[in-house]
Amino acid sequence: MRFPALILSLLLALFLATGPALAVQPDEVLSDPVLEARARELSKVLRCPVCQAENIDESNAELSRDLRLLVRERLVAGDSDEAALAFIVDRYGEYVLFRPDASGSNLLLWLAGPAMLVLGGGFAFGYLRRRRPETAPAPADLTEAERKRLAEILQD
């Protein structure tokens, strides 16, 4: 009973120790650990234009490598984080940002989802409010003949 648990524990530890495989190549890493840490943080907020669901820090696409090198190049040149991001956004568009600014035309996109939810909820509420259950008509009183017949049936 202990042997399978031990194997399972070792496999789980091995899985957790490996972590996500990052695509940053050794030749990309900067010698300055502070600049490298900044580059890694910036790489996590930039979307891979090829993969689209990965940041450039995790993507193996050639374009992501180019973007990682460009980020490091801008940081070595003395750009601040904001200036490096602005340079890349100017070159590749806001699509490369995982969280674009909520301003200008993007504001419409940020507000469209919640607005549709509120609008749909209002329509659903109005529809359900108008749709009231129909009340069944009150049963009519029994005639004298029906009462006698009912009494006969109940006595049997």
38-97: per-residue pLDDT in tens? 999 999 899 988 887 888 888 888 888 899 999 999 999 999 999 999 999 999 888 888
pLDDT band at 153 (very low <50, low <70, confident <90, very high): very high
3-state secondary structure 52-108: CCCECCCCCCHHHHHHHHHHHHHHHCCCCHHHHHHHHHHHHCHHHECCCCCCCHHHH
pLDDT at 12: 66
CATH topology for 19-119? Helicase, Ruva Protein; domain 3 (1.10.8)
Q: Where are the domains of the chain?
A: 19-119
In this prediction, residue 30 carries a pLDDT of 79
Burial code (b: 16+ CB inside 10 Å, e: under 16) for 51-84 equals: beebbbbbbebeebbebbebbbebbeeebeeeeb
Buried b (16+ CB within 10 A) or exposed e, 91-120: ebeeebbeebeeeeeeeeeeeeeeeeeeee
Question: Which two three-digit tokens encode residue 148?
Answer: 């006698």
